[in-house]
Amino acid sequence: MALTTAPGRTTRTGSPRPHATRRGAGRDRHGEGLAGYVFLSPWLIGLMGVTAIPMLLSLYLSFTNYDILTPLSEVEWVGLANYERMFTQDPSYWHAVQVTLTFALVAVPLKLAAALGVALLLNKAWRGVGLFRSLFYLPSLLGGSVALAIVWVNMFNRDGAFNSFLAIFGIEGLPWVNDPDWALETLMLLAIWQFGAPMVIFLAGLKQVPSELYEAASVDGANRFRQFWHVTLPMLSPVIFFNLVLETINGFQGFTAAFVLSNGTGGPVDSTLMYTLKLYISGFTDLEMGYASAMAWVFLIAIGLITTVFFSTGRFWVHYSDGER
C-alpha cells in the first residue's frame, strides 16, 4: 500500500528538488503506512487475536497432553505421541477419515451437478424464472442451520414424512436416519439439496458466455448437446473450478447436520462420524484437546494438499478465454 501511493505522489507533485522530495516522501511513506495499519487494526487485531494466535497455540498444543482443565502452564510436552496415536492406534480416527471422504466424494459432485443442471434450466428467459431462482436458492440461505437438520431428522425417521410418501405407493420405508447403512446418505441428500449457492454462481457464469459462440456453433451444425460440451463447459470451466474448490472444502468441513442427527455422538454405530465431529468429541467430550489439536492440523494440511492438487491439475481443464491461466 505504502509502496504504491508514494511514487504516485511524487509524480503528481513533479518536484524540481529531487533530494528534498525523497526525504519528504520518505517521511510521508512512513506516515501513510502507519495510517494504513491504523485503519487495518480492527481487522489485524481480529486476525491475530481470534485466528492466528489461537491457531499457533493449537499447533503447540498438538504436541502436548492438554486436556482443557489443566492450566496451560502445566501441560506436558509429548512430542509426536498424539500424531502417532492418531495414525496407528485409533481405529475410529481412520473410520472418521473414511466417512468424511465418502461424504465429500459423493455429495460434492452430485451437488455441483444439481447446481449446474438447475442453473441451465433457469438460464432461459421464461415467465416466473426469478421466482424459481429464489426458491432454489432458499435452502442454502438456511445453510448449516440446526433447525433444518432437525426437520431432516424428522422427515427421514421411520414414521417421518418421507416414509408416509413412500407408503402411498405401497413401499415400506426404512428408518433412514437411524439406520447405520443409510444415515450418511441422508446427510448427503441434505447437502446436495442445498445447491443454491453454487447454482447462483453457475447462473452468473452462464450469462457471461458470449452468444455469438452459440451462433457460430449452430451455423457449424452443432446440436444442443455438442454446444453444451464444446461451448458451455469450456467457457464455464473457471466457474466450475471455483465451485469445485469451495464446495470440496465445505464438504470436508460438514459438522452441524451430523452433530444434530446423532446427538453429537456420530451414531448410529459411528456411521455419521465426520472428521470434524470426531475432533469435537475428542476435544470437548473426552477432554483430549491436545489430541484434537493434532487432528485439526492434519485436517488443515490434508485440505491444503487437496486444494493444491486441484490448482495444479486446473491448467489441464480450466479454460480462461482471455488467454491467461
Partner 1 sequence: MHPATSPTAGTPAEPSHRTLAPRRRFLRGLVAAVVAAPLLFGAAACGDDSDAGDGKVKLSIFWWGGENRAKLTEDALALYTKKNPNVTFEKTWQANQGYFDKLATLTAGGNPPDLFQIDDNYLSEYAERSTVLDLNSYSDSGKLDVSKFPKSLLEYGVVDGKLAGVASGENTQGLVYNKTLLTRNGLPEPTTGMSWEEHIAWAEQVTKKTKVPGTQDPSADYKAFWVWLRQQGKDLYKGKDLGFDEADVTRWFELWKGARERGATPTPDVIHEGNASDVTKQLVVTGKAATSWVWVNQMPDLKKNTKDELGVVAYPGDPSGQWARAAMYWSVFKGSKNRDVAVDVINFLANDPEAVALLGTDRGLPSNLDLRAKVSETATDPAMKQSIQVETELAQKFGQAAQVPIKGHSKVKSELVKAAENVQYGRITPAEAAAQYVAACKSAIV
Interface with partner 1 by CB under 8 A: which residues?
A: 31, 34-35, 38, 41, 67-71, 89, 158, 175, 178-180, 263-265, 267-270, 281, 284-287, 289
How many residues can be counted in the chain?
325
Nearest distance from C-beta of residue 266 to partner 1, angstroms: 9
DSSP annotation string for 23-47? HHHHHHHHHHHHHHHHHHHHHHHHI
Closer to partner 1 at the Cβ: 47 or 309?
Answer: 47
CB 62 to partner 1: min, Å: 16
Q: Which is nearer to partner 1, 81 or 201 (CB)?
A: 81
Residue 155 CB, nearest approach to partner 1 (Å): 15
Nearest approach in angstroms of CB 178 to partner 1 is 4
Closest CA to 25 of 39, 37, 8, 40: 8
Q: Measured at the alpha carbon of residue 289, what is the angle toward residues 285 and 291, in degrees to the nearest 5? A: 105
Q: Cβ closer to partner 1: 24 or 234?
A: 24
Cell of 106: 459423493
Q: Which is nearer to partner 1, 41 or 321 (CB)?
A: 41
Least distance in angstroms from the C-beta of 11 to partner 1: 22
Q: d(Cα 132, Cα 4) in Å, to the nearest integer?
A: 46
Residue 184 CA from chain centroid, whole number: 19
- State which residue, 72 or 216, has the beta carbon closest to partner 1: 72
Pick the closer one to partner 1 by CB: 67 or 234. Answer: 67
Query: Which segments of 47-128 does DSSP mark as H helices, in order?
Result: 53-61, 81-88, 91-122
Distances (CA, A) of 76 to 61, 89, 170: 9, 20, 61
Least spacing, CB of residue 288 vs partner 1, in Å = 9
